[in-house]
Amino acid sequence: MCTSRAASLLVSLLVSSAISALVSAQGSTSSPWQTLSGNPPLVIARGGFSGIFPDSSYAAYSLALMTSVPNVVSWCDVQLTKDGVGICAPSVKLDNSTDISSVFKDKDKTYPVNGMATQGWFSVDFTLNDLNNVILIQGVYSRSNKFDGNLFPILTVQDMVSQVKPPALWLNIQLDIFFTQHNLSMRNFVITTSKSVIIDYISSPEVGFLRSIAGRVSPTKTKLIFRFMGKDVIEPSTNQTYGSLLKNLTFIKTFASGILVPKVYIWPIDASNYLQAYTSLVSDAHKAGLTVFAADFVNDVPLSYNYSFDPVAETLSYIDNGAFSVDGVLTDFPITPSAAIDCFAHVSKKSSGQATPLVISFNGASGDYPGCTDLAYSNAIQDGTDIIDCPVQMSKDGIPFCMSSINLIDNSNVATTPFRNLMATAPEIQSGTGIFSFSLIWSDIQNLTAAIASPYSSSFKIFRNPANRNVGRFLSLSEFLALAKNSSVSGVLISIEHAAYLANKSLGVTDAVLGALSKAGFSNQKEKKVMIKSTNSSVLMKIKENANYELVYEVDEGIRDATNATVLDIKRFADSVVVMKKSVFPTNLAFLTGVTDVVTKLHAFQLSVYVQTFSNEFISQAWDFFSDPTVEVNSFVMGGEIDGVITDFPKTSGSYKRNKCLGLGSKTPVYMSPVQPGSLMQVIPPPALPPAQAPYPVLTVADVVEPPLPVVQEATAPPPTGGSTATVPSQQKSGQPKLPAGIFLSSLALLLPTLFLL
């Protein structure tokens, strides 16, 4: 059922895009595209959707077709076997992308390749028949190898074309001289193949090869593209470096109609991974009549810091920058440029976009700036966030201010200042020691140097914007409110934690918040919406007694459902609920396992649901989202039906809301349709499946009910800096396993029946 709905969605997509392609071809004089032809740039899927499935496998090619623009180009790296058959494999050394080293132990050889002695299992030493028992596997260690057990066979070029039926075919001939040395003719292969198969593009980094076929393939049917390698690499047939060949585009034009270049040829990056000014390459090549294709688009490596880890932003810088557009991008993740080209390019800066999701910042734009600083907030506002957030902490002298953690060490340089003497323990707050906000007076805190958070630095060595590591200054709650009031945001969210603990230290945080809001003129909420968030119901109860703000209850543990009685109880003190991502789509080994009842249940009782935390680092996302934060947000919004996102990269969510492919109903293109939670996991062969995990608990009334806030203690003596030794009781719960529910239109589901046809 799901599959046929998805199939009809795909068909309607193909039809509507075919029509719009016609329309845009006719109106190409007024095209917004700065490509050579005026047509939208091409999406070229390198080895298929090789970011997920083994490079050059049937599954990779199929997934590319299912998730991309209808005219997606299928790229095959052609290698020749001992008996002269052309196969698709990313390298002539088959050991990288197949299991050949275990099938033919000791059959590795050492040959010169472009003058370099190279050891491995070469395609030229095996007949097609030999390769029958060899399967394609994931060659990139950082990607999941869970799909290898599907026993994807090596495909000949003919097999690939007949099975995948690619809308357009690109053959890359990386090595011709090498095959010639092994008495195999790539030229014969290409010329013969072009008689039975439409080859739309042939690329090669060897000048000699392209010149040898230039007169033998039809230039209208088959475009020849010269591929540039690194600038210092020597092109083997001319003995010039690619860098020097780049200086004579007129020469290139004598045998090729276009060029394929590493993306850094166009937007160079410096040694610290920052983007430099773009080069004139695309304009120069266009002037010379050459199309330009850019290579190396990969979502699952840290991108240049300038893109804030957002691969859509990266693609846009190549296709929609006001100065030029490349004519195509070569990618391992074709869904990303598909969405960038069709949905995100040429969006008016003034477009207000759709209302959902409500974009709430997480410590301001803390993905790019130290959290809760003036810069984090002003950039969050510029980035199009709807709500800026202030996690309120209290200084020793009772000033409420914004900081991500009550422990100043997490967000500042306090540990390197003389205040490190104030190191203390507070078991009610955290284990271990910390330097707590209530131990310093505000003027000292103001003077601390802010530090950018890098949640994925210790395990994955992914650091956030080092240029901004220590910029910005912290704001008092009053300053934060003044900033919000004088800005375009629609409101503020103020988080209050540890209220009972602070009350015992003579610090009344709820009163301080209410006072600051009232003083800043936020009492009537006419201009700006005020949201107060807490994980503790007693805080929200207390606020409710005193003011009429939106009260937001945060459930900071994974849950799979909540009993009706619990939700009714939440209704007594909250208007909306914040849950974790895994409480909507639980995961196992970073694969989505399904969808919980949490959003449906909370919605049934008219509670809005906001989800945290959406980050751009690919490592923070499940495999199902293709290392693309936009796919993740879209799947939560369209598939998970959530009302808001809490994100440290509000620019990505703000830009998502303005994309042109929202609100299209059944005409929604596949690349802007939600993924089906659990469907990718179904492609894992059973022996490789991770063991099922214990399901998350159901939220009960006992989890929610809290004793009322204690009265704030009179300050009789200077507030103590130490804490008590009481421990927080841990809650153990159990529950029934939840089956994956397939409620969403999805392109992924299509893969299953096709795979079984093999």
Ligand X SMILES: *[C@@H]1O[C@H](CO)[C@@H](O)[C@H](O)[C@H]1NC(C)=O
When asked if residue 272 is in the footprint of ligand X (CB under 6 A), the reply is no
When asked if residue 182 is in the footprint of ligand X (CB under 6 A), the reply is yes
Question: Is residue 482 within 8 Å of residue 520, measured between CB atoms?
Answer: yes
When asked if residue 127 is in the footprint of ligand X (CB under 6 A), the reply is no
Q: How far apart are CA 260 and CA 42, in angstroms?
A: 12
Judged by CB under 6 A, which of 108, 159, 200, 251 binds ligand X? 251
When asked if residue 538 is in the footprint of ligand X (CB under 6 A), the reply is yes
Judged by CB under 6 A, which of 156, 212, 504, 616 binds ligand X? 504
Q: Which amino acid is at 69?
A: V
Coil, helix or strand at residue 702: helix
Report, in Å, the least distance between residue 682 CB and ligand X. 27
Report, in Å, the least distance between residue 15 CB and ligand X. 37
When asked if residue 447 is in the footprint of ligand X (CB under 6 A), the reply is yes
Question: Is residue 659 within 8 Å of residue 576, measured between CB atoms?
Answer: no
When asked if residue 738 is in the footprint of ligand X (CB under 6 A), the reply is no
Question: Is residue 576 within 8 Å of residue 356, measured between CB atoms?
Answer: no
Report, in Å, the least distance between residue 544 CB and ligand X. 13
Segment contacting ligand X by CB under 6 A, of 194-202, 255-263, 273-281, 614-622? 273-281
Q: How far apart are CA 398 and CA 670, in angstroms?
A: 53
Chain centroid offset of residue 505 CA: 43
Beta carbons within 10 angstroms of residue 111's beta carbon = 17
User: Tell me, what DSSP letter sits at residue 160?
Assistant: H
When asked if residue 131 is in the footprint of ligand X (CB under 6 A), the reply is no
Burial class (CB in 10 A: 0-12, 13-18, 19+), 352: exposed
Quick one: residue 312, left, alpha or beta (phi over 0 = left, psi -120 to 50 = alpha)? alpha
Give the pair of three-digit tokens for residue 757.
């046809």
Looking only at residues 290 through 349 of this chain, which bind ligand X when binding is defined by CB under 6 A? 306
When asked if residue 606 is in the footprint of ligand X (CB under 6 A), the reply is no
Whichever of 32 and 710 has its CB closer to ligand X, that residue is 710
When asked if residue 177 is in the footprint of ligand X (CB under 6 A), the reply is no
Looking only at residues 455 through 494 of this chain, which bind ligand X when binding is defined by CB under 6 A? 467, 486
Beta carbons within 10 angstroms of residue 410's beta carbon = 16
User: Tell me, what DSSP letter sits at residue 449?
Assistant: P
Segment contacting ligand X by CB under 6 A, of 7-15, 440-448, 580-588, 659-667? 440-448
Report, in Å, the least distance between residue 8 CB and ligand X. 30
Nearest alpha-carbon partner for 446 in 485, 476, 413: 476
Report, in Å, the least distance between residue 95 CB and ligand X. 8
Whichever of 447 and 693 has its CB closer to ligand X, that residue is 447
Residues paired with 469 in a beta bridge: none
Whichever of 506 and 587 has its CB closer to ligand X, that residue is 506
Whichever of 385 and 673 has its CB closer to ligand X, that residue is 385
Judged by CB under 6 A, which of 180, 197, 274, 284 binds ligand X? 274
Q: How far apart are CA 190 and CA 79, in angstroms?
A: 11
Q: How far apart are CA 755 and CA 751, in angstroms?
A: 6
Q: Number of residues in contact with ligand X, rule: CB under 6 A?
A: 33
When asked if residue 546 is in the footprint of ligand X (CB under 6 A), the reply is no
Segment contacting ligand X by CB under 6 A, of 12-20, 439-447, 451-459, 547-555? 439-447
Question: Is residue 663 within 8 Å of residue 354, measured between CB atoms?
Answer: yes
Whichever of 239 and 732 has its CB closer to ligand X, that residue is 239
Q: Nearest 5°: CA angle at 157, between 151 and 158?
A: 100
Taking the alpha carbons at both ends of the chain, their separation in whole angstroms is: 22
Report, in Å, the least distance between residue 368 CB and ligand X. 9
Report, in Å, the least distance between residue 255 CB and ligand X. 9
Residues 6+ apart with CB under 8 A from 31: 24, 38, 39
Segment contacting ligand X by CB under 6 A, of 352-360, 405-413, 622-630, 702-710? 702-710
User: Tell me, what DSSP letter sits at residue 294?
Assistant: E
Whichever of 159 and 706 has its CB closer to ligand X, that residue is 706
Alpha helices in 635-708 (DSSP H): 650-657, 701-704
Pattern 709-728, ligand X, x by CB under 6 A? xx---------x---x----
When asked if residue 41 is in the footprint of ligand X (CB under 6 A), the reply is no
Q: How far apart are CA 147 and CA 140, in angstroms?
A: 13
Segment contacting ligand X by CB under 6 A, of 31-39, 155-163, 167-175, 706-714? 706-714
Chain centroid offset of residue 700 CA: 34
Segment contacting ligand X by CB under 6 A, of 137-145, 221-229, 331-339, 383-391? 137-145
Coil, helix or strand at residue 120: strand
When asked if residue 139 is in the footprint of ligand X (CB under 6 A), the reply is yes
When asked if residue 239 is in the footprint of ligand X (CB under 6 A), the reply is yes
Give the pair of three-digit tokens for residue 685.
């062969």
| Phi, psi of 360, deg, nearest 5 | -110, 130
Report, in Å, the least distance between residue 304 CB and ligand X. 7
When asked if residue 140 is in the footprint of ligand X (CB under 6 A), the reply is yes
When asked if residue 707 is in the footprint of ligand X (CB under 6 A), the reply is yes
Which residues make up the interface to ligand X (CB under 6 A)? 96, 139-141, 182-183, 239, 248, 250-251, 254, 274-275, 277, 306, 443-444, 447, 467, 486, 500, 504, 536, 538, 564, 604, 706-710, 720, 724
